[in-house]
Structure 1
Amino acid sequence: MRNFCRRFPFRSLPRENIPIPRHFLSHHSRFPARFNSSAKIPASSSSKDTCAKGPAPLSLYQRITELVAEENPTVDDKASSGNPVAENGRSSACQIARESESSLNAKEQAQAENSELEDVSLIVQRVTEIVRLEKSELRMGQRLDELDLPFSSEIVEKVLKRCFKVGHLALRFFSWVKLQPGFCHTTQTYNVMIYIAGEAEEFDLMEKLVDEMEEDLCAKDIKTWTTLISHYGKVKQIGKALSTFEAMRKSGCEPDAGVYKAILRALFNVRKAELSMEFYKEMVSKNMSVDASLYQLLMSCLARSGDVAAVRLVGDDMVMIAKLSDSEVYACILRSFCIAGRIEEARKLFEEIKKKNLLVDLKVFEVLVKGLCRASKTDDAIEIVNNMKQSLAIDGQVYGCLIDGFIRQGDVTKALQLLHDMRELGCLPMVSTYTQMIQYLFRSDEYGKACELYEEMLKDGIEPDIVAITAMVAGHVRHNQISEAWDAFKSMKKKGMKPTWKAYTVFIKELCKASKPNEAYKLLEEMLDSNMNATNGIYHLVISCLTRNGELEKARKVEQIWTSLKLQSLGNEMVFQSADHPSHHEEHKRSNCSFNQGINYIQKAEAYSEIDLKQVCRILSSSTSWNSILEVLERSMIHFTPKLVEAVLHSCQRHSGAALRFFSWVGKQSGYEHTAETYNMGIKLAGSAKDFEHMRNLYQEMRRRGCSITPNTWTIMIAQYGQAGLTEIALKTFKDMKSDGYQPNGSTYKYLILFLCGKKGRKVDEAIKLFQEMIHVGYMPDKEILGFYLSSLCESGKLMDAKGSVKTLCKRGFAKELGYSLLIKSLCRAGRVEEALILTEELDKVGCSIDQYIYGSLVHALLRQGRLDEALDKVERMKKAGLSQTVHIHTSLIVHFCKEKQIGKAVDIFKKMREDGCEPTIVTYSALIRGYMNMGMIADAWQIFRYMKVKGPFPDFETYSMFMTCLCKVGRSEDGLKLINEMLECGIIPSAVNFRTVFHGLNREGKQELAHSVLQTKWLLKRERMFLY
């Protein structure tokens, strides 16, 4: 729940600075209109759909009111004490006046109403002041009791709305008022509090509030459901968003347009194009309006998935249903293609637009130019711009896109030249363009040029915005020009700008990186005085920096401030620990103790007992209930050390969910602290379970706690993304690693190149760049990485690159025989047999001879193409050269004869190789199993498989997967299900493909109940491997 506190400024606001939105007050309010907020919150389900050209966006207060307030309120405030209050909390002063038997005339009645409204407004104002100004919960309660006022649900709702920017105070008041005699929360008050919790991404609290809502018999309305779905969607918890949508339907609450928009946005966030389309169709079938922004998001999602036809269909709907013009629709489609990086489709569409003589404005050209530049097609973008000049006046935005393209390519010379040409043409560059150039120059250690460019911008009369000044501040600090950085920072205020949270954060980070702890401390104080709270990461960074430089007193002071802000949960009441509460004092003492230990004590990596390791692993696998596991752990007398925890995580891949919970639990135990190694193992475990969200959370926690992050930490994360085929994210993580100042090591390059060269998520061009970079920085590839790399190049038709790489490596000292052997093997794997044969004949020219491994590669490739005679000829040549046949050649022959359904010959070769003392490998046995299955000899296949389990080599994942697929093909899916269970018992994790193969096989055989059990096993396994919050 720490995020909840950190998202809101913790310093209490003075009375005169409490922001009160205009529409929360009656016209008698004494608060000036300047307190209206301009921050933005997504529109609620009750808000009307707006087009891109609609009115200005509503303020934050207005939108939160739409989300949680009445759709058609008559009066903002309610009567004060003494007047009856309806059970649903909705009676107004007007209604009370009408129900009374008073004989007031219209004028007297209006005066009475105004008096009541003013009284209620003053009550809300007074209560809000107390809630926001009193740091102690006990003191807050005493002062509220002294007011001796009745708390209606409307008053509570209004107070909560005024406190939504300081959510921890809102929750404190919410919990306090719940305990007051005669008060019951309503759906409306719960809605406000749920919204606040969701905005702070405190989902445990949000769900707890929903549970309490049910306990208090408060019915969830459409706004409750919309809030829940919207906030789950924002953080990509799509499973919870969908289950909430289904729960809403089952409850009898019919989804409205707002709910559909919320669920669609959630699906767009996780790029679920198919599901998005289904929900969209359902929405349209119910005659619900779809605004232009939602159409654009839907198109972009579909374009990213590659469903171009669906994008066109949505475009037709925009014309027929939304009544948009063809030009507007084509512009939206073009934008979606460019966002998705589908440049060829974008080009074709642009030609189609021109052929249809549709209106093409500068905005359309800008979209295409930006798309081309982001796809590294800057030359094409320049051609488009040159054509544009004939009919349109080019503005700074379009030129800015071109400059962005040059910068992305690293061609700063062209970017600077274009910037100069723009000024010559009288087209002033945008401030964002200057900022981007300045940032790039700073990163390239061109400090002088960056400062000169900034001065040029000022001379041209272009006023820098807060982003530009922040960039200058960061650049000055990086080049150790601290006084200049402070001057730039202070210039914001001189220009009438207020430094933003981002500006403070960037400045503090850069100061800490430059080992300027006192400067960072000073700036943190200023930030807090400006009612802006820092993140946990910033506090950790400042504390670590102060500690390293011996400023222990200041470090303790920062930690005291940070500790005082942490959210404390007291039982089920969800109230905050008060500053003067004894238990808080004790907690604070413990925190300081831990902090001082962190400064003066580094925990030794103690050895561990194998008995302890087995006991912990047994406990973690003993139950699916974490509470049961926790009870056993707390009763155990095991002494936990980082080495033991690391070993436990390494041994518990099958039960990684429980292992990750154990990791979290043990980190909170007295006398224990996680090390970089335990965090690395935890990150690896979460990533192997594809729980990437928790993997990232562990990394952030590692940073917050000041653990030493090494290149190995980054390498593990990159490897987990690559293993899952998410090479785009792996590459982004690699770039983030370098931008954060960490230098990739040999392992980083190795694993990233391996996954870029893999079948899943292959990116050959990126692999080539990375391989060259690896060589340039001095890392030499090993046999494994070079083999994968060359195979990828050969399969992609980049033969010259493959040959060039081998020549370059050999010049740098790589063994020639091994290099050319791997190159021939790669050509053979890619089916380039003729090229491999030619290269083999030329080996003597480079001083290499043909060894048994090269013969093995050639024989295997010839057999794959059915050229048995040529393959046998190579075997004979090999014998004449005095080279013995390898297991590779024997296995290749077995594979060939099994494929030709000559199982007898395959068995003969198998027997002969064993007689010759050539031990079969797991690939050899797998080939025989596949051969027997192809011949329908299922019993013989099982016999080989059982022999492997008893004598070895033990079946691996590939063997299980192959045998399972063969069994399902011949109607033996039930045996395939047994193999899945065997895999789990042996600690081998079945893949999604394994489950799918068996599931479909059982369904084909009419065994639906067993098929359903496969899904249950899959779901249970996923649940056991994920860290469930």
Structure 2
Amino acid sequence: MRRFRIKSSRLSKRFEKGGGAYPVSSHFLPVSVPANPTFHRTQSTSTSYQYLSLSISPCEKNIDKDSNLQSISTCQHRVLAILSENNNNWFSLLSKEFQPYLQRIDPRFVISFLQNAHNPVYLLKFYLWVSSSNPKLAKDSSVVRVLSDFLWRKGPVILSEDLLREVKSCGCYITEDLLCILIRSWGRLGLAKYAHDVFAQMPLMGFRPSTRLYNTVINALVTANSLDLAYMKFQQMFSDGCPPDHFTYNTLIHGACKQGIIEEAVRLLKQMEKRGLSPNVFTYTILIDGFCKSNRGEEAIEVLHVMRQRNVLPTEATYRSLVHGLFHCLAPKRAYEMTTGVLENEPVLQGDACNTLLYCLCKNGMAREARDFIEKLSLRGFVPDATVFGAVMVCCMKTLGFDDLHLLFENFIKNGGKPGFHAYISIVQGFLKERNHAEVCKYIKQMDTAGLLSSVVSYNELINLLGETGEMDMALEMSSEMRHRGFSPNLVTYNTLINWYSKLGEVNKARDILKKLLEHGFRPDKITFTSIIDGLCRAHQLADALKCFHEMPNWGVSPNALTYNVLMRSLCEIRAFRDASMLLNQMQREGIKPDCYSFNALILNFCRVGEVNKARSLFSDMLRLGAVPDKYTYNAFIRVLCDENKIDEAIEILRIMKLNGCNPNPFSYQMVTEALKNAGRFEEAQKLERYKETTV
């Protein structure tokens, strides 16, 4: 960075010599084929427990006092060592060494071990020992929850004959509680057949069928998408004298809804009632979700009416399922009308459901409807959740006028709402666009008073907003203010300032911030370098930008695709296409995958100067390397083809855009229709314009 300023020299000397920048292709704009998708194991939300060994827990102190073990970590390592010795005496060894202190170990110790043991069999053995020595500890809900989660994440545990024999030889046995935990883990792992087979072998393990065990295996089979096997087990319940209960029917109804067999779910509901089991709120909530997923929103609302008739009170989860479901199966406008009809007729205001509706409206860009809904229900005392209101403000910022946005914000405060950080950011952004600095300062002060400027992250976001709107003096002042408030600017703070100064072409001020960055002990990263290079390019100091680019390795920083893109764009602006092509080749040699913008820099300019064959060749390379063309890529070809009166090929480009998932914009159609009119093909031009009106 010390060599930030250099004398200009010939650009071509900045690159390694290379060739073959424009390979020949006989195809014109081939349709891209997406790569094979990658499938991942479904993740589920679970409670996470972390206990860092920065302090000693009361349990740890007891163990240290009595056995000279210095920490929980030491105990865990010792337990793990015993279990990993492949010694069948693991149970007696654990009992001999830890039995005197077992009563003093709390659930945190057990949970911590479960989290740190990577072998699922060790988890099982350790739990068996704890279960035998301290049954109350083994039944702790947090321990059971973590064990279930980790048997799924690190499993499966297979109940082999050797393992069962080993467990039996230790005087232990698989309890019904543990078997239920194992069956649930197999269901989550998709091992339906194995769960079914183990259930069939239960008598050999000393278990008698029970409604609880049947419910567990049916739930596992439904989770593993094996509804047929679940029904088989359901039929066996009666012959084994295990009457199905609410959980049984709710699980099967959920499975039927999950498979889209909503009529079967309704049949199960009727069967449930015939057996004297009244459907509960979970039953109806599952049905509402099922009807919505089957695109039968009106019937979902009918289920809600049935609940009222039968005095089953809907929960917040019921309303959330209904609101999300209606927006899933209906057009947003229709979903809004139906949902508001339900919520406005409720005798008791459902705040959580209203917040869910506002979230769905924002997700669908329905800012006016969100504003109207808030205004209407505020008469009944509804005040949106602060987080949801922040989303509403962001949505309204894109559509409504600033006066409407400001009024919405002030009414929210007037009605007792407490705006969150993003709500304030939206109103500050609006006043920044209005250049009303007095109001900007007023609301920033309110943010500070409300405790919303309470971290480096919040200051950085505000500084970025100020920079984005060109208020660099205020942004710089805010960076000084945060230091006075005890929040030291970090690398992100300095990079943000450098980035916006660079985008404004104020290279000297960017350099001043860079000096501060170095003075405070930070090392520039690729974002720092890319911002500086961008600023130099905007200031037409391209030679300096290239020098800065070649200095990056000296700081241990590798350029990324954005760094290359900035340079290639600037090189193309001065028609240094050969140098830009060399950069494109260089980034590929260094293992950096070019993106759409990398190719666009050259393709757009080749089309602009009439080098269509080179542009076509680059387009072929673009598809081969997996870069996805955007509307600018296609429009460049459409323009040059229309200029060359190759209108049919331009129309073919429109078709290819659609096939590749890139919808033509109005400008795409405009270029082709004008070319058709100039060629006297008025009927085709009118047909294309009518088609545009139905798609754009």
Structure-1-length-normalised TM-score: 0.34
Structure-2-length-normalised TM-score: 0.49
Higher relative contact order (CA 8 A, sep 6+): 2
